[in-house]
Structure 1
Amino acid sequence: MAVVRADEHGRSAALDGLIPLTCNEIQRLFITLVVRPALGAAHRLGWSDWRRRHKARSRAGHHRLRAVPA
């Protein structure tokens, strides 16, 4: 998982509007897609994209608020 995470952080994730995958998310996706596929892979991958996009928007908003001079 550490190798996948390092590779993920090496590429530019800002282009697709997503934050890089975290170790926890890589583990969660591996378990749900390979070990115990309860729901469809498309559902899990869609959830991961939604979560990462949401976190990217939250991070950008936080940085935008912190950059405004008081």
Structure 2
Amino acid sequence: MTLPEIRRLTTRLTRPPTNLIDHVLHWSYWRRRRQFQARISHYKRRGHTPPETAHTSEQRPLQY
């Protein structure tokens, strides 16, 4: 086993389980906020006016 595998196993065995739904929702909200901030920074760095600067919950999801 590698050191990262051992660390992950140790962490998984010693930490109390997280509430999966709360964790996923929190992570999703955090990710969308960061995507929005990155988009705004991208436009500002290049000297352009950002498109809609509405709140993240009002933003359409990015298309991949």
TM-score category of the 2 structures, normalised to the smaller one: 0.3 to 0.5
TM-score (norm 1): 0.43
TM-score (norm 2): 0.47
Greater C-alpha radius of gyration:
2
Is the helix fraction higher in 1 or 2?
A: 1
Using CA pairs below 8 Å that are at least 6 residues apart, which structure has the higher relative contact order?
Answer: 1
